[in-house]
């Protein structure tokens, strides 16, 4: 990823008689950690006391659940809040709750340091309350570096190694902090003696540009391609100009992984949008028709959405060499940072005429797709078409908006209707694909940028999972934000709709009400109970004015949108087998069979309307 992660080298001020906890906070501050997401407990009393003594140099954000702390720590880096995310939780149940959010950071390659309290060393091994083998529990999520601090002289080298490893490997590291050690007198300067370490908090350099010979080989592969496709992911963030230049030079179309949405301007005719199961038809056509493929900072795992093996000659760029060549048989793999590597590749390619017919075909397909999506959004539904919410929002998004997206049908409509443009920041749980990520992401984004408006896009399943609770966190903090706009859209269809559609299309079985139906909750009224603003949407005519009110409100707003659970999420390549199984689910008595028939036929006809193709 093209991001400057240089950390300050000066530690935070220490009290006159510092404790181990004071020393940890000070040393973490020197690595750029100034915000801790967590929930208190007696296993970290020493740490929270130290944070109280920092004179506001470090901020503790109290969330409602430790899982939120993990998600928020991951999002803290994604939204540019700092070089490192940090979660602080208590022993036993707190440490267990944290894991899901940490796995989000691990799978999306975000540097996060987890601080977990533990039983006092004097009681370890005695079956004490909340005593859990944390070193065993965390050995996978924090496999890059995991240690227990058992002596005050360890603070410097354990904190330094945890931070350096998290940054260098872009992953999760963890320190286990026994309660009694936290309050021991600090050893700020370990002795120059056997068995002690004198470590550095200066950041490590990172690989930048691959060897010239490898760049030359990559240019030879790409040069001469008449139908070039690019796939960009989060590794291309910060390299938007370079991505645009090389796309223009190669005459390429550009598809994006969800985590790479902000690496391009989605208003461009050659940007085909998302790839994969929730992607666009032009992205599918781009990959099935290309003769060259350039992958920049992406490891999108759905192999069936890449070109068929042998069709395209391919080059891949990634900062982590271990991620290269995992999804497609690439000819040249360039280990390097996206921005300088693409710049070096541009220099090697030099000027040259770009193929025009291919780009014209891409632009035609993309334009047709966008018209179809608009038509689909405007089709009548019962009571509201969820796609219309996203279509009307797209036209009103502020230029500097922060977007937080949950996993489910919300992700599909976001991917197909929101045209992210320069100046916006957007993210989601991209690889773990965990429900319940959007509200923690939204909170973290807002703390990173309290002067910018935010929109969170959440399904009712995720909202019931943790969103209703974290609205309490919003109510606790919103008055401290320079810009109070914090808009939460809840798609209320009383159904775990994504799961229902997967069950229909992959299993051929009807929606299982006991498993997938959800209670109908008045989310807008809950917001009002908390002193926030609530909006109920049960008619499409309400939408323009609701969005306008929400995006100009003087406090956070929750929009409870009653949407049609039968709205189809057709993949860009809907196979005959998927169609057969969906039909079988209907014939077997799906409780929403009438809605599927009502919405399915017009949606299918619109999505797969024949288009005029250009000769290649």
Listing DSSP states for 412-473 in one string gives: HHHHHH----TT-EEEE--SS--TT-HHHHHHHHHHH-TTS-EEEEEEHHHIIIIIHHHHHH
In this prediction, residue 475 carries a pLDDT of: 98
Tokens of 315: 């080059």
CA-CA distance, 382 to 372, in Å (whole number)?
20
Across 497-502, average pLDDT: 76
Across 9-34, average pLDDT: 90
In this prediction, residue 611 carries a pLDDT of: 45
Residue 3 clears pLDDT 50, i.e. is over it:
no
Q: Are 76 and 444 contacting, i.e. CB atoms less than 8 angstroms apart?
A: yes
Where does residue 273 fall: left (phi above 0), alpha (psi -120 to 50 degrees), or beta otherwise? left
In this prediction, residue 431 carries a pLDDT of: 95
Tokens of 387: 């796609």
In this prediction, residue 26 carries a pLDDT of: 96
**Percentage of the chain exceeding pLDDT 70:** 91
Tokens of 187: 């050893």
**What are the angstrom distances between the C-alpha of 202 and each of 48, 233, 487, 577?**
26, 29, 40, 56
Q: Are 59 and 36 contacting, i.e. CB atoms less than 8 angstroms apart?
A: yes
In this prediction, residue 55 carries a pLDDT of: 73
Which CATH architecture does the domain made up of 379-607 adopt? 3-Layer(aba) Sandwich (3.40)
Exposed e or buried b per residue across 430-460, where buried means at least 16 C-beta atoms within 10 angstroms of its C-beta: bbbbbbbbbbbbbbbbbbbbeebbbbbbbbb
Across 536-549, average pLDDT: 97
Residue 613 clears pLDDT 50, i.e. is over it:
no
E strand or H helix at 373: helix 357-378
Find which of 99-108, 117-126, 186-195 is predicted with most confidence, using mean pLDDT. 99-108
In this prediction, residue 5 carries a pLDDT of: 43
CA-CA distance, 298 to 327, in Å (whole number)?
10
Measured over the CA atoms of residue 224, residue 227, residue 233 and residue 239, the dihedral's sign is positive
Residue 559 clears pLDDT 50, i.e. is over it:
yes
Q: Which CATH class is domain 212-363?
A: alpha beta
In this prediction, residue 581 carries a pLDDT of: 56
Residue 520 clears pLDDT 50, i.e. is over it:
yes
Q: What is the pTM of this model?
A: 0.92
Residue 572 clears pLDDT 80, i.e. is over it:
no
pLDDT single digits (tens) 263-282: 999 999 999 999 998 899 99
CATH entry, 20-183, from 3.90.220.20, 3.40.50.970, 1.10.3720.10, 3.40.50.300: 3.40.50.970
In this prediction, residue 352 carries a pLDDT of: 86
Domain ranges within the chain, ordered by starting residue = 20-183, 212-363, 379-607
Neighbours of 365 (CB within 10 A): 25
Q: Are 510 and 523 contacting, i.e. CB atoms less than 8 angstroms apart?
A: no
Tell me, what DSSP letter sits at residue 12?
P
Listing DSSP states for 260-314 in one string gives: GGGGS-TTSTTEEEE-STTS-HHHHHHHHH-SEEEEES-----GGGSPPTTSSEE
Helix (H, G, I), strand (E, B) or coil at 117: strand
pLDDT single digits (tens) 394-416: 999 999 999 999 999 999 999 99
pLDDT bracket for residue 341 (50, 70, 90): very high
Tokens of 173: 């590291």
Q: For the packed helices 438-448 and 468-477, what is the interaxial angle rounded to 10 degrees?
A: 10
Across 88-108, average pLDDT: 98
In this prediction, residue 602 carries a pLDDT of: 55
Look at the block and give the residue holding tokens 């919405």. 599
Q: Give the residue among 86, 76, 72, 94 at the shortest CA–CA distance from 173.
A: 86
Find which of 3-12, 453-462, 587-596, 598-607 is predicted with most confidence, using mean pLDDT. 453-462
**Percentage of the chain exceeding pLDDT 90:** 79
More confidently predicted of 353 and 476: 476
Q: Give the residue among 332, 232, 229 at the shortest CA–CA distance from 290.
A: 229
Residue 206 clears pLDDT 90, i.e. is over it:
no
Tokens of 425: 């920041």
Nearest 5°: the CA angle 449, 432, 285 is 95
Query: What mean pLDDT is reported for the chain?
Result: 91
Half-sphere exposure of 579 (CA within 13 A, CB side): 8
Same fold, 212-363 and 379-607: yes
Find which of 55-64, 89-98, 299-308, 560-569 is predicted with most confidence, using mean pLDDT. 89-98
In this prediction, residue 354 carries a pLDDT of: 87
In this prediction, residue 584 carries a pLDDT of: 55
Residue 97 clears pLDDT 80, i.e. is over it:
yes
Helix (H, G, I), strand (E, B) or coil at 217: helix
E strand or H helix at 46: helix 45-52
Look at the block and give the residue holding tokens 């720590």. 73
E strand or H helix at 552: none
Residue 610 clears pLDDT 60, i.e. is over it:
no
Helix (H, G, I), strand (E, B) or coil at 219: helix
Which residues on adjacent β-strands are paired with residue 173? 113
Across 555-581, average pLDDT: 78
Residue 504 clears pLDDT 80, i.e. is over it:
no
More confidently predicted of 586 and 523: 523
pLDDT bracket for residue 516 (50, 70, 90): confident
Q: Are 231 and 298 contacting, i.e. CB atoms less than 8 angstroms apart?
A: yes
Listing DSSP states for 359-370 in one string gives: HHHHHHHHHHHH
E strand or H helix at 315: strand 313-318
CA-CA distance, 539 to 13, in Å (whole number)?
56
């Amino acid at each position: 990823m093209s991001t400057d992660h240089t950390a300050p080298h000066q530690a935070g001020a220490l009290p006159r008689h510092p404790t181990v906890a004071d020393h940890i906070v000070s040393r973490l501050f020197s690595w750029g950690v100034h915000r801790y997401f967590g929930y208190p407990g007696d296993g970290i009393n020493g740490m929270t006391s130290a944070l109280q003594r920092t004179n506001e140099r470090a901020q503790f954000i109290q969330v409602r659940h430790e899982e939120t702390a993990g998600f928020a720590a991951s999002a803290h880096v994604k939204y540019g809040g700092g070089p490192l995310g940090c979660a602080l939780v208590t022993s036993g149940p707190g440490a267990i709750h944290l894991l899901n959010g940490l796995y989000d950071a691990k799978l999306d390659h975000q540097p996060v340091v987890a601080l977990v309290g533990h039983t006092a060393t004097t009681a370890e091994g005695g079956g004490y309350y909340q005593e859990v083998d944390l070193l065993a529990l965390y050995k996978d999520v924090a496999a890059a570096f995991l240690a227990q601090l058992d002596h005050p002289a360890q603070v410097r080298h354990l904190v330094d190694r945890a931070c350096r490893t998290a940054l260098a490997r872009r992953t999760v590291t963890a320190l286990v902090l026994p309660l009694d050690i936290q309050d021991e007198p600090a050893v700020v300067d370990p002795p120059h003696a056997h068995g002690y370490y004198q470590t550095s908090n200066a950041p490590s350099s990172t690989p930048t540009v691959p060897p010239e010979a490898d760049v030359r080989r990559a240019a030879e592969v790409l040069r001469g391609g008449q139908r070039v496709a690019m796939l960009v992911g989060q590794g291309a963030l910060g390299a938007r100009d370079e991505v645009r230049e090389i796309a223009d030079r190669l005459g390429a179309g550009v598809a994006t992984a969800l985590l790479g949405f902000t690496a391009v301007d989605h208003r461009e005719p050659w940007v085909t949008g998302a790839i994969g199961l929730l992607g666009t038809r032009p992205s599918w056509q781009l990959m099935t028709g290309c003769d060259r493929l350039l992958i920049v900072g992406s490891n999108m795992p759905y192999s069936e959405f890449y070109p068929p093996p042998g069709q395209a000659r391919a080059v891949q760029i990634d900062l982590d060499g271990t991620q290269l060549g995992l999804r497609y048989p690439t000819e040249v793999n360039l280990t390097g940072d996206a921005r300088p590597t693409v710049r070096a590749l541009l220099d090697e390619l030099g000027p040259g005429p770009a193929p025009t017919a291919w780009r014209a075909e891409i632009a035609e397909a993309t334009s047709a797709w966008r018209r179809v999506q608009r038509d689909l959004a405007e089709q009548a539904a019962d009571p509201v078409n969820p796609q219309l919410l996203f279509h009307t929002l797209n036209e009103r998004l502020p230029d500097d908006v922060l977007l937080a997206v949950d996993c489910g049908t919300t992700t599909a409509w976001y991917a197909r209707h929101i045209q992210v443009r320069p100046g916006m920041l957007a993210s989601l749980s991209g690889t773990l694909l965990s429900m319940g990520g959007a509200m923690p992401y939204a909170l973290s984004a807002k703390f990173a940028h309290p002067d910018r408006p935010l929109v969170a896009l959440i399904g009712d399943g995720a909202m019931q999972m943790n969103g209703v609770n974290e609205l309490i966190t919003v109510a606790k903090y919103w008055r401290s934000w320079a810009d109070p706009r914090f808009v939460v859209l809840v798609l209320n269809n009383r159904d775990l709709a994504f799961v229902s559609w997967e069950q229909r299309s992959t299993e051929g079985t009807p929606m299982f009400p006991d498993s997938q139906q959800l209670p109908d909750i008045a989310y807008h009224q809950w917001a009002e109970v908390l002193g926030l603003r609530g909006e109920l949407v049960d008619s499409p005519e309400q939408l323009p004015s609701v969005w306008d009110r929400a995006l100009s409100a003087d406090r956070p707003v929750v929009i409870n949108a009653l949407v049609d659970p039968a709205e189809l999420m057709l993949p860009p390549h809907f196979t005959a087998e998927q169609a057969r199984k969906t039909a079988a689910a209907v014939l077997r008595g799906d409780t929403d069979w009438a809605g599927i028939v009502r919405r399915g036929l017009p949606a299918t006809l619109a999505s797969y309307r024949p288009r005029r193709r250009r000769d290649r």
